[in-house]
């Protein structure tokens, strides 16, 4: 080899080494600052009880720039977010948000349901194995035992080796417990009566932490024993109906359901203040916000590198809606005041945790229909379903067919439970019994469809059948399922919910904060999409039975 050729090889080798070094340095520098996930110090989940998506748009002009508007303008909103199942009530709603799957999978098929094993109705979070902590009542004998899957907060606890905390806060026990999951450090809910305190279950702790005792003893609640008047001049509440109407229910002691509402209510027996009524005013939401702030301070949520969870349920919106109706001045004022509580919490999160250090989602556990009488008076077709005649019709027909009423042992959530032991004992054909009962049910006014459990479990392309199927658990649900026609409802004052129609399924969904992209989408999303979306932001597993889809448009990559 010539000296010239040897020199060329050396020079080429040198350049190859230089290029390799540059490429390697470039690659290493390219990964600097790159993160595969976001690790907010705190995740806040806010669920508003009985909040229609429409309440965001309807009252928009009355909201401040630092409450709902701040979340929407600086966060991400899914404008067509729905519950993808038929039984739209509080217990299933919170469980579905938390688990990312439907009631048919997570097992919370209603607030209460008929239990086939015990032959009695059970409440979704009742658990006699545990004791009340913070009260001498039975209101704390609760646990998440009936929830069959993990929650998003559970998965975060596991992912952080149980260093990240979970705290749930609500007026309702089911709101706090089902949102928080099995591994929560604590879940607290409000006990009204003459004490008006936050309590919990021995499932979580043996005694109330000192800070909870101090909060209860401080009587913060007493400042809410006051007259409820509108936040702004009532004449500006043009988005709702007249204050005095026939669609609302009075508070005790009131002659008419109109502002101002006086809440210095005394117990008939002792003369002590009765605190339960606070839940039916916007001040119940204020009290929950007060307690949530104390929870952050005293549990030191969001103070280290392990992501903590705070689950907040604002339940007073549901109580107000049930009492006054979706078109009432009271509902409008409650949401205007809730906007102020959202503003207060956001200001606190920004100052305490840091504006770039937390991730938040806000949604609802179900929507609401308008008051039937209001719809009827405004020429919207409504018919009243007579539940007493319905029960008698079924009982009389079953007796006529089978000479006994005992073939039906229970009913709940528009489902009928049959006495399988008696059917077998009398050598009756179960399928034939179902068919005959379905035929007599189908003839009653207001009944749209009646299905056997086999029909619901079979795959099909019918939209409403799918909604029923998603809320149906073959081990827990009934033998026969029935639905109302869209324009039939129970006669009542105030709003209700629980149907598979859009007024009950269409609810808000807002993401905000660390790892969230600013924007909006109008395509249809499902409530089960929340958990996997937040899990993707955090880089953790979705709940173990999650069936939702990640809302990719909301994630800041």
Give me the catalytic one of 31, 57, 88, 90.
90
| Helix (H) or strand (E) run with residue 389 in it | helix 387-402
Return contacts of 385-394, CB within 8 angstroms, 24+ apart. 385/445, 385/446, 385/484, 385/488, 385/489, 385/490, 385/491, 387/490, 390/444, 393/440, 393/444, 394/437, 394/440, 394/441
Residue 49 near residue 90, CB atoms below 8 Å: yes
- The alpha carbon of residue 56 and the mean position of all alpha carbons in its chain are separated, in whole angstroms, by 17
* Euclidean distance between CA atoms 340 and 227, whole angstroms: 18
* Euclidean distance between CA atoms 73 and 283, whole angstroms: 27
* Cβ atoms within 10 Å, residue 328: 26
Residue 90 known to be catalytic: yes
Is 197 strand, coil or helix? strand
Residue 136 CB-half CA count within 13 A: 2
Residue 419 CB-half CA count within 13 A: 15
* Euclidean distance between CA atoms 448 and 539, whole angstroms: 45
Residue 295 near residue 167, CB atoms below 8 Å: yes
User: Shortest CA distance to 358 belongs to which of 164, 85, 113, 139?
Assistant: 164
- The alpha carbon of residue 27 and the mean position of all alpha carbons in its chain are separated, in whole angstroms, by 45
Is 244 strand, coil or helix? coil
* Euclidean distance between CA atoms 533 and 73, whole angstroms: 19
Any residues with CB less than 8 A from the CB of 446 and at least 6 apart, and which?
A: 383, 385, 484, 485, 488
Is 184 strand, coil or helix? coil
Q: So which residues are the catalytic ones?
A: 90
């Amino acid at each position: 080899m010539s000296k010239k050729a040897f020199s060329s090889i050396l020079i080429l080798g040198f350049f190859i080494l230089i290029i390799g070094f540059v490429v390697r340095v470039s690659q290493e520098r390219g990964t600097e600052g790159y993160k595969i996930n976001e690790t907010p110090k705190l995740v806040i989940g806010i669920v508003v009880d009985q909040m229609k998506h429409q309440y965001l748009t309807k009252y928009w002009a009355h909201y401040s720039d630092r409450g709902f508007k701040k979340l929407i303008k600086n966060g991400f909103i899914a404008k067509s977010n729905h519950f993808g199942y038929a039984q739209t009530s509080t217990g299933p709603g919170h469980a579905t948000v938390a688990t990312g799957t439907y009631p048919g999978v997570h097992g919370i098929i209603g607030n209460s349901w008929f239990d086939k094993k015990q032959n009695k109705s059970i409440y979704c979070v009742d658990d006699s194995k545990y004791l009340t902590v913070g009260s001498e009542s039975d209101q704390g004998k609760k646990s998440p035992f009936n929830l069959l899957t993990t929650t998003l907060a559970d998965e975060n606890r596991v992912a952080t080796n149980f260093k990240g905390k979970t705290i749930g806060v609500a007026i309702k026990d089911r709101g706090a417990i089902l949102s928080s999951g099995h591994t929560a450090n604590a879940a607290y809910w409000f006990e009204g009566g003459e004490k008006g305190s936050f309590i919990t279950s021995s499932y979580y702790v043996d005694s109330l932490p000192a800070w909870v005792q101090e909060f209860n003893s401080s009587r913060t609640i007493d400042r809410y024993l006051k007259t409820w008047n509108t936040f702004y001049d009532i004449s500006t509440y043009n988005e709702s109906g007249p204050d005095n109407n026939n669609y609302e229910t009075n508070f005790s002691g009131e002659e008419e359901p109109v502002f101002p509402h006086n809440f210095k209510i005394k117990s008939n027996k002792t003369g002590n203040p009765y605190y339960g009524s606070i839940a039916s005013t916007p001040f119940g939401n204020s009290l929950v916000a007060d307690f949530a702030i104390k929870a952050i301070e005293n549990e030191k949520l969001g103070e280290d590198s392990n992501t903590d969870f705070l689950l907040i349920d604002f339940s007073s919106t549901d109580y107000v809606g049930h009492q006054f109706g979706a078109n009432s001045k009271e509902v409008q004022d409650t949401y205007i005041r809730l906007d102020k509580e959202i503003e207060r919490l956001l200001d606190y999160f920004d100052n305490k945790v840091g504006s770039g250090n937390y991730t938040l989602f806000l949604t609802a556990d179900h929507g609401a229909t308008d008051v039937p009488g209001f719809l009827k008076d405004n020429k919207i077709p409504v018919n009243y379903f007579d539940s007493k005649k319905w029960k008698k019709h079924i009982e009389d027909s079953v007796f006529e067919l089978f000479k006994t009423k005992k073939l039906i042992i229970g009913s709940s959530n528009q489902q009928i439970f049959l006495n399988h032991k008696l059917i077998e004992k009398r050598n009756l054909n179960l399928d034939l019994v179902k068919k005959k009962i379905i035929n007599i049910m189908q003839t009653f006014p207001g009944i749209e469809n009646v299905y056997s459990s086999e029909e619901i479990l079979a795959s099909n392309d019918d939209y409403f059948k799918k909604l029923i199927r998603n809320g149906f658990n073959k081990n827990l649900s009934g033998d026969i399922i029935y639905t109302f026609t869209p324009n039939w409802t129970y006669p009542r004052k105030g709003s209700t919910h629980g149907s598979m129609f859009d007024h009950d399924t269409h609810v808000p969904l807002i993401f905000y904060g660390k790892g969230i992209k600013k924007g909006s989408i109008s395509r249809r999303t499902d409530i089960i999409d929340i958990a996997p979306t937040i899990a993707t932001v955090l880089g953790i597993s979705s709940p173990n039975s999650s069936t939702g889809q990640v809302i990719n448009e909301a994630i800041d990559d």
